[in-house]
Structure 1
Amino acid sequence: METQTLIYIFVGLSFALYIAIAVWSRAGSTTEFYVAGGGVNPVVNGMATAADWMSAASFISMAGLIAFLGYDGSVYLMGWTGGYVLLALLLAPYLRKFGEFTVPDFIGTRYYSKAARVVAVLCLIIISFTYIAGQMRGVGIVFSRFLDVPIFWGVVIGMGIVFIYAVLGGMKGITYTQVAQYCVLIFAYMVPAFFISFMLTGNPVPPLGLGSEVNDGSGMFVLEKLDLVLTDLGFAAYTDGSKSMIDVFCITLALMVGTAGLPHVIVRFFTVPKASDARRSAGWALLFIALLYVTAGPVGAFARLNFTQTVNETAYADAPEWFTNWEANDLIAWRDKNEDGVMQYRPGDAFEGAPVFALDATGPSGERLLENAPTDNANEVYVDRDIMVLANPEIAQLPGWVIALVAAGGLAAALSTAAGLLLVISSSVSHDLLKRTFRPDITEKGELRAARIAATAAILVAGYLGIYPPGWVAQVVAFAFGIAAATLFPAIVMGIFSKRMNREGAIAGMLGGLVFTLSYIWYFKLWDPSLNVEANWLFGISPEGIGVIGMVLNFTVALTVSAMTKGPPVEIGRLIENIRVPRGAQTPHTH
């Protein structure tokens, strides 16, 4: 059977499964829509949390970043994995003990303030839309290549699928859909990794394969061979890091504490019966996540080695089929600068940003003509980093069914997280803004309708951000973590562990962290990207890691303002003491 036919079958069957689950688990109440009724088994919730967490950034983009960043890419592995340990130990059981529906619910009640709730909703929406842009971009890339449609229409189709099971099923539908999506995505990620590890080293276990000898007779280990191949071409060694220690520390910490402050992850711990189940859920989630994360590093190294050896010094006329497939989707390109008909992969930017293809025009060697390729360096090859995991099976010439499986897995990863984010956005609008702030007399039926309308509007905005994203998938996601670290994380931590923290301090801290972090990212990424170099960064910290400074600013402002203003009411102190009690769980409040 042809590969394209297998792709249609695998993707079609997975979509049919997701939609069937959504119809079966349609939410009939606000409790089911927001927290799946609050009775999800910890193991099931752990698997759903893993799918919610392992987004397009984890499945599609992380290994691609590691492939091209090498040692520097390890910050994503350390930060995103360590964040779950922090979440399990520091926040999850206490938030479940509190018994509310959403993060703004916790902040609004703990800080006895509608203003604090509104600020939390503002932060949540900014974080979620920043994050979701990467997910929809991932959906567009997968559709573009594997289903042979433009990225625009790929995003539109993905929006339609998410609409069906997020708007219909709410958290109840999303939870059980994400269990299915986890099974699809982890199988799709591991199978090609096993194949490629065995082909390169004779060892089918990727982490062990990464430390094994390449079976080409050279007697060299994988990383040793990769370092040699890259340095011979003029690149830095794969195992050398170029980032400063302070930037590595800040990016890793921003990803860690950002994980613990992400609203779509935190809300998953409101779906289990009691506080102890929240901790168990986090443990199971960490186990399920680890399966992919210990494999991502080897996948990145294998991908870079295969890509470099396949592309470099290859005549364009003899380019492998996978190259022309991705070239047709504008995600890989070649510009024959010296007109010798041979692809030269060297250090230096081949293009300023993504390539711009001239319609129906070809260059001297038959390549698709490009309009923005610089001529001041020797590099002729452009590759979108987000394609490496998806292209890996094709580069390694694996069977068609493996390629089809990866396509289904990439879509599962992106759609699962997109759905969780959309639910967070819709619940914050319908529950926190309407029910708890501006229209407390709204009926449950009206609140549910508002939640679905908000989810629909969020899908439209998310689709636009997916079509016009401000960076690579994982890079966009890293900004969301920085914003979460600078806004919600300090407010939640101080809300649990500080009886003195009051509403004035919390509001001032969140706004300070938000304005500073957003301004820094906007200045270097949107206002003038040419300034985005280490010499211009504050303390040498990149936009991906600046959330740590935003977090410190948040804590500093909040504690200072709190010390200068009246403390919280006595009943808030009793509420905090009740949250800290490690036994049982409080029944969710009736709204």
Structure 2
Amino acid sequence: MDVQIWTYILVGISFSIYIGIAIWSKASSTKDFYVAGGGVSPLANGMATAADWMSAASFISMAGLISFMGYDGAVYLMGWTGGYVLLALLLAPYLRKFGKFTVPDFIGDRYYSRTARLVAVICALIVSFTYVAGQMRGVGVVFSRFLEVDVNTGVIIGMIIVLFYAVLGGMKGITYTQVAQYCVLIFAFTVPAIFISIQMTGNPIPQLGFGSTVNDGSGMYLLDKLDGLQSELGFDKYTDGSKSMIDVFAMTLALMVGTAGLPHVIVRFFTVKRVRDARKSAGLALLFIGILYTMAPAVSVFAKTNLIETVSNQPYEDMPQWFSNWEQTGLLKHEDKNGDGLIQYVANKEENELTIDNDIMVLANPEIAQLPNWVIALVAAGGLAAALSTAAGLLLVISSSVSHDLIKKMIKPDISDKGELWIARLSATVAVVVAGYFGINPPGFVAAVVALAFGLAAASFFPAIMLGIFYKKMNKEGAITGMIVGLLLMLFYMLKFKFGIFDGGKEAVAGLESKWWFGISPEGFGSVAMVVNFIVSLVVNKFTKEPPEDVQEIVEHIRIPSGAGEASGH
């Protein structure tokens, strides 16, 4: 069978499972809709958290990013996994003990302020909509290549599927759907990696094959071979880094605290029964995420080596079918500048004839390596599972921010449970439509979606949550001022250095690197904005009134170690 038929079969089976789970786990109350009834096991929650976290960016884009960044791409691996250590140690157990449904709920109650809640809702909506637009576009790209439909049609199909199980099942449906999606995406990422590792190095474990010798009898290590191939084409060695130490540190820290501050990740720890289960969930999530994240560097090296050997200085007319398939998507482009019929893939921009989108590396990798058609189709199913799982989690954050934090807590406190559930489903429906619109008509900033989302989460949520847990005298004036200053500073820096808004537009961005503050890139500036948030919060706090005694007592209570709260499940 050809790739398209295999794709229809595997995607059809996986989608049927997701829809079946949504029907089985239909939410019947707001507690079911927001936190899955609070009764999810640590194992299931760990798998669901991993699926929620490993979006299209992790499955499709990350290995492709590392393929072209080489050593510098390690910051994403360190930052995105390190964030779960922070979550497990500093946030998850305490937030679970506080017992609220959402991050704005925690901030609104902890800082006894409608204004604080509103600022948190705005931050949650900005981060979530920014993130989800990229997921929907990822769904469209996968559909356009493997099901041979228009990208926009692919986005609409994805909208319908997500709408069904997110609106029907809420967090309960999403949680058990994400368990299935984790199984699909990790299997889809692992199988081709094992195949190619055996093919290139003879080692069936990709993480070890990454550091093994190639099995061509030369005795050369795979990384040395890739370094040589890169050097021949004028690129920097794959194992050499070009980023400054301070930028590496800032980016890693920003990604770590951004991870720990993302609302769709944090809300997962409200779904377990006990405080200790929240800590277990975070540890298991890190383990499940680590399986893919330790494999990603290997997949990057396999893909880049195979790509160079397949296309560099080869006749264009002899290119295999996968090349023309990806050309049709517009994500791979060849321009024969010197008319010799050969593909010149070189570092010199004037002579280079091949343009490759980072996002195709994982999806095209099995095709480049000439693996069986069912493996190629499996990767498509995995990419869709990754994008849809994160999209569903983000849509729930948007839905709960509107129905619970705005309507229930601020506009209409006397609304019935049934009415709140109806509004939650309606707001999820509207959110899906808006997300689909941005997927079909992506705004200019979608390329920077990850950096923007993580930077905003680091600059706004993380300090407010940390101080709210560990400093009982932190008041509403300090927290609100800190969040607003951190958010605005991050937005200003992103607009200035990522989009050139104040310096001549996008065309001028490349020339602004020398003007970065402290030599820190926009992707890493979230760490600076976070520090500013902390300082502003503490300074304002010093000159304003202490929080009420009852609030300080709540903070003392949530920091009490295991014992007092566990018997009651709080």
How far is 1:151 from its partner? 1.6
1:83 and 2:62 aligned: no
How far is 1:301 from its partner? 0.9
- Report the AA paired with residue 430 of structure 1: S
Q: Secondary structure at the match of 1:382?
A: strand
TM-score by length of 1: 0.93
Q: Name the structure 2 match of 1:240.
A: 240
**Partners in 1 of 2:67 and 2:567 — Cα distance?**
46
- Report the AA paired with residue 509 of structure 1: G
517, 530, 534: which one pairs with 1:538? 517
How far is 1:458 from its partner? 1.2
* Contact 2:247-2:521 within 8 A present in 1 as well: yes
- Report the AA paired with residue 169 of structure 1: G
Q: Secondary structure at the match of 2:250?
A: helix
* Contact 1:312-1:344 within 8 A present in 2 as well: yes
**Partners in 2 of 1:185 and 1:423 — Cα distance?**
21
- Report the AA paired with residue 391 of structure 1: A
Matches for 1:308-323 after TM superposition, within 5 Å: 308-323=308-323
**Partners in 2 of 1:468 and 1:341 — Cα distance?**
36
382, 397, 410: which one pairs with 1:409? 382
Q: Once the two structures are superposed, what CA deviation does each residue of 1:339-388 show, in whole Å capped at 9, x if it has no partner? A: 11111101145xxxxxxxxxxxxxxxxxxxxxxxxxxx111101110111
**Partners in 2 of 1:472 and 1:504 — Cα distance?**
32
1:476 and 2:449 aligned: yes
Which structure 2 segments of 5+ residues have no match?
A: none
- Report the AA paired with residue 322 of structure 1: W
Q: Once the two structures are superposed, what CA deviation does each residue of 1:493-525 show, in whole Å capped at 9, x if it has no partner? A: 000001121001100000011111112112233
How far is 1:466 from its partner? 2.3
How far is 1:471 from its partner? 7.1
Segment of structure 1 superposing worse, 451-460 or 78-87: 451-460
Q: Secondary structure at the match of 1:546?
A: helix
How far is 1:465 from its partner? 2.5
* Contact 2:59-2:189 within 8 A present in 1 as well: yes
- Report the AA paired with residue 279 of structure 2: R
**Partners in 2 of 1:216 and 1:254 — Cα distance?**
42
Q: Name the structure 1 match of 2:157.
A: 157
How far is 1:243 from its partner? 1.1
Q: Name the structure 2 match of 1:574.
A: 553
Q: Name the structure 2 match of 1:353.
A: none
Q: Name the structure 2 match of 1:337.
A: 337
Q: Secondary structure at the match of 1:184?
A: helix
Q: Once the two structures are superposed, what CA deviation does each residue of 1:241-283 show, in whole Å capped at 9, x if it has no partner? A: 1111111111110000011101001000000001010001111
Q: 1:421 to 1:586 in 2, by over 3 A?
A: farther
Q: Name the structure 2 match of 1:422.
A: 395
**Partners in 2 of 1:586 and 1:159 — Cα distance?**
42
- Report the AA paired with residue 431 of structure 2: A
1:508 and 2:481 aligned: yes
Instruction: Name the % identity.
Output: 67
**Partners in 2 of 1:228 and 1:244 — Cα distance?**
24
- Report the AA paired with residue 459 of structure 2: A
Q: Name the structure 2 match of 1:357.
A: none
Q: Secondary structure at the match of 1:306?
A: helix
Q: Secondary structure at the match of 2:333?
A: strand
Q: Secondary structure at the match of 1:442?
A: coil
How far is 1:469 from its partner? 3.8
* Contact 1:99-1:585 within 8 A present in 2 as well: no
**Partners in 2 of 1:402 and 1:472 — Cα distance?**
33
1:204 and 2:204 aligned: yes
How far is 1:478 from its partner? 2.7
1:548 and 2:551 aligned: no
Segment of structure 1 superposing worse, 74-83 or 539-548: 539-548
Matches for 1:293-312 after TM superposition, within 5 Å: 293-312=293-312
- Report the AA paired with residue 576 of structure 1: V
Q: 1:478 to 1:348 in 2, by over 3 A?
A: farther
Q: Secondary structure at the match of 2:524?
A: coil
- Report the AA paired with residue 523 of structure 2: E
Q: 1:210 to 1:470 in 2, by over 3 A?
A: farther
How far is 1:83 from its partner? 0.5
How far is 1:473 from its partner? 7.2
Q: Secondary structure at the match of 1:28?
A: coil
How far is 1:474 from its partner? 7.9
**Partners in 2 of 1:474 and 1:41 — Cα distance?**
36
How far is 1:409 from its partner? 0.3
- Report the AA paired with residue 2 of structure 2: E
- Report the AA paired with residue 197 of structure 1: S
* Contact 2:274-2:569 within 8 A present in 1 as well: no
* Contact 1:197-1:209 within 8 A present in 2 as well: yes
Q: Name the structure 2 match of 1:358.
A: none
RMSD: 1.4
- Report the AA paired with residue 208 of structure 1: L
Q: Name the structure 1 match of 2:542.
A: 563
Q: Secondary structure at the match of 1:582?
A: coil
- Report the AA paired with residue 285 of structure 1: A
**Partners in 1 of 2:133 and 2:324 — Cα distance?**
27
**Partners in 1 of 2:407 and 2:389 — Cα distance?**
26
1:524 and 2:532 aligned: no
**Partners in 2 of 1:188 and 1:240 — Cα distance?**
30
How far is 1:536 from its partner? 2.2
Q: Secondary structure at the match of 2:359?
A: helix
* Contact 1:79-1:254 within 8 A present in 2 as well: yes
Q: Name the structure 2 match of 1:69.
A: 69
Matches for 1:579-590 after TM superposition, within 5 Å: 579-583=558-562, 584-585=565-566
Q: Secondary structure at the match of 2:364?
A: helix
How far is 1:220 from its partner? 1.0
Q: Name the structure 1 match of 2:10.
A: 10
Q: Once the two structures are superposed, what CA deviation does each residue of 1:55-83 show, in whole Å capped at 9, x if it has no partner? A: 11110000000000000101000000111
Segment of structure 1 superposing worse, 159-168 or 460-469: 460-469
How far is 1:408 from its partner? 0.4
Q: Name the structure 2 match of 1:103.
A: 103
Q: Name the structure 2 match of 1:213.
A: 213
Q: 1:235 to 1:72 in 2, by over 3 A?
A: same
Q: 1:212 to 1:86 in 2, by over 3 A?
A: same
Q: Name the structure 1 match of 2:404.
A: 431
How far is 1:472 from its partner? 9.2
**Partners in 1 of 2:86 and 2:261 — Cα distance?**
10
Q: Name the structure 1 match of 2:429.
A: 456
Which structure 1 segments of 5+ residues have no match?
A: 350-376
How far is 1:588 from its partner? 8.7
